[in-house]
Amino acid sequence: MKTRAHVLIEGRVQGVFFRSETLSVARQYHLTGWVRNLPDGRVEALFEGAEEDVERAVQWCHKGPPHAIVRNVQVTREPYQGEFETFSIS
């Protein structure tokens, strides 16, 4: 079953390669969507794909890359829309 997750990550998550590592994780799990920095210091991501693969990416966001310090992760589950062809950094 395919699903969609909208994720907001708080902590020391900008300037630590969070977006590029998220791109690598998304590609590893064959997910589509995007990741971007927000002006308030958070990182926002949207993942679409197979339910277990989306869950793996969401779980990775709780840890992030080696120099990140993740303090909070908000996840909103949404219906799969299939609107993306790839995963990108916005």
The residues carrying an active-site annotation are 19, 37
What the block records as the tokens of 62 is 């709780």
Q: Which residues contact 11 (CB under 8 A, 6 or more apart)?
A: 64, 68, 69, 70, 71, 72
